[in-house]
Structures are given as C-alpha cells and as structure tokens.
Amino acid sequence: MIPSILLVGCGRMGSAMLAGWRERGLAPSYAVDPAPGAAANAGPDLTVVADLVAIPASFTPAAVILAVKPQNAAETLPAYAKYTSGAVFLSIMAGRTIGGISALLGPAGKIVRAMPNTPAAVRQGVTVACPGAGVNQGQRDLCDALLQAIGKVAWVDDEGLLDPVTAVSGSGPAYVFLLAELMEREAIRQGIPADLARLLARQTVAGSGALLAASPEESSALRVAVTSPGGTTKAALDVLMADPAWPALMQKAIEAATVRSRELAG
C-alpha cells in the first residue's frame, strides 16, 4: 500500500506514476493541478484540486511529488514549504537541482531528485534517483517504492550524473520513437502499404527492445549477430555508422540534451 501522497502536477508523467501507485493500492491522497483535464484522475483514493488552498489543513502526506514543468518551479514550490516538517519531496523536474529546490522550499526540505521516462506509462520505465542531504532510510525506501511502481530504479550519490541520465533515458524514448517514425516513412516511400509499414516499424522496434531486455549479451553483440557479411543489414549499417552519420549524431544529440538539462537548473 502506498501511503498518502500529494501529487503536484497531473501531466503525462504524473498521471503515469499515479496509475502505477493505484495498482499497488493508494491511501487517500490529493493532487494539485489547475488544468481542466486533471479532474479525470480523481477517484476514491485521490482528490484533485485546482489550488493548494483547497487541501484540508489536517492532511499530512508522507511524500510530495513534484511533477510540474521545471520552468514553473520558482512560482509553484514555495507554497509547499509547509509540508517540509513531515514529508519527503520527490522531484521529477528535469534539470532542477536539489540545491535549487531546497532554496525554494527552505532548508528543512528533504529532497530526492529523480529522472523517470515515459515507458512508465506501461510500467516499463527506468528511473535514476539521487537523495539529498538529510533524507533518511525510511524516506528513501518510500521514494524507491513510488518509483518501483513504474519500472526499474537505480540510485546514485553523484547528482551531476542526472544531467546525462536525462539525456540518455529521460529523452531517450523520443529517439526510439523517431527511429520508428523514420522506418515507417521510408517503408511507405518504398511502396509498402501504410498500415503494413506501421506494423513493421513498430513491431520491429518493440520486438528488438524485448530481445535486448531478455538477452545477457552486449547490445553490440546482438547487432553483430544479425549482420551477415555482405548482406542487407551490413549495407544499411555501412550507411548508418559511416562517420559522421549515426554514431556522431547520437553523441551530439546526447551532449546537447545534457547541456540543456544543466541550463534548466536556472
């Protein structure tokens, strides 16, 4: 059973996390989100309000989950400082550092910074979390349980790693979706009917991911295994891996996302 929580932001990731918590059982909780569609998340275990002032003073969450856009942190977070005496704050705001969040909540805030990714919506996410100063074992265990409900969890002590983590796994699903998009587009250009092109692209990406997850082999070994000398795969990879093609572009892409994550710290 997940204890009472306060979810700040019911966007795509906040809603995905909420679904995972509900599957494990969620004690009566609150969510704050002024968007009209946020009310769809309401239920016997969750009351959705548009403003913090609507939450009863008697409500004492075990955790406050910060799922707002990082650009909105400065105007949003100070009002939640009243919960710092009893709750751990779990932030999934990209780029926002523990120090930056602490400056908005006050020195009493116990903060865990985490970066999940969108496969959380199907409980196949991966999250890297970093505890701030003063977070005790019970609070860390609670955050771990909250994150385990949406996929795999890894912990690091070096907060600086969360910027490249954001670039690799946080933004990574978009890279995979782009791959499927481009495969589908080119299949259609080659004359394959649109519905078949979509099936081929999506199932190839999904199936390859499942194989990768199930295999103990390195990803490079799996690539080599499907690449016959002089075959069609080799012809394609000669294009994709030619400098400065795919490897160089992926390096630049992840570097750019890492830089942007650091910029979002403000």
CATH code (residue 49) = 3.40.50.720
> Tell me, what's the pLDDT at 29?
98
Do 125 and 196 lie in a common domain?
no
Give a yes or no: residue 165 inside a domain: no
Tell me which of 176 and 265 has the higher pLDDT: 176
Our measurement of the distance from residue 215's CA atom to the centroid of its chain's CA atoms, rounded to an integer in Å, reads 24
Do 44 and 127 lie in a common domain?
yes
Contact 118, 125 (CB under 8 A): yes
Give a yes or no: residue 167 inside a domain: no
Give a yes or no: residue 166 inside a domain: no
CA 116 – CA 153 distance, rounded (Å): 9
Do 22 and 88 lie in a common domain?
yes
Q: List b or e across 221-238, with b for residues whose CB sees 16 or more CB atoms inside 10 angstroms.
A: eeeeeeeeeeeeeeeebe
**What angle is formed at CA 263 by the lines to CA 260 and CA 266, rounded to 5 degrees?**
150
- The structure tokens listed for 79 are 């009002």
Give the residue among 47, 87, 48, 92 at the shortest CA–CA distance from 66.
92
The β-bridge relationship of strands 63-66 and 5-8 is parallel
Give a yes or no: residue 181 inside a domain: yes
Q: Domain with 252 in it: what CATH number?
A: 1.10.3730.10
> Tell me, what's the pLDDT at 263?
86
CA 192 – CA 184 distance, rounded (Å): 9
* Residue 30: burial class (beta carbons within 10 Å; 0-12, 13-18, 19+): buried
Q: Report the half-sphere exposure of 103 (CA within 13 A, side-chain side).
A: 10
Q: What is the dihedral of CA 19, 132, 89, 80, to 10 degrees?
A: -150
Give yes or no for residue 265 having a pLDDT over 80: no
- The structure tokens listed for 52 are 């913090």
Domain tally for the chain? 2
Give a yes or no: residue 10 inside a domain: yes
Write the pLDDT tens digit of every residue in 109-129.
999 999 999 999 999 999 999
Do 148 and 189 lie in a common domain?
no
Give yes or no for residue 266 having a pLDDT over 90: no
CA 114 – CA 32 distance, rounded (Å): 20
> Average pLDDT in the 156-182 region?
96
- Domain residue limits at 202: 172-263
Give a yes or no: residue 162 inside a domain: no
Contact 61, 4 (CB under 8 A): yes
Element (H, E) at 257: helix 246-263
Give a yes or no: residue 77 inside a domain: yes
Give yes or no for residue 186 having a pLDDT over 90: yes
Residue 76 CB partners (closer than 8 Å, separation 6+): 8, 68
Write the pLDDT tens digit of every residue in 18-28.
999 999 999 99
- The structure tokens listed for 236 are 């394609």
- The structure tokens listed for 35 are 């968007």
Q: What is the value of pTM for the model shown?
A: 0.91
Do 36 and 62 lie in a common domain?
yes
For 176, 212, 262, the CA distances from 258, given in Å and listed in that order, are 18, 25, 6
- Among 131, 157, 183, which residue terminates a domain? 157
- Among 123, 157, 191, which residue terminates a domain? 157
- Among 157, 192, 209, which residue terminates a domain? 157
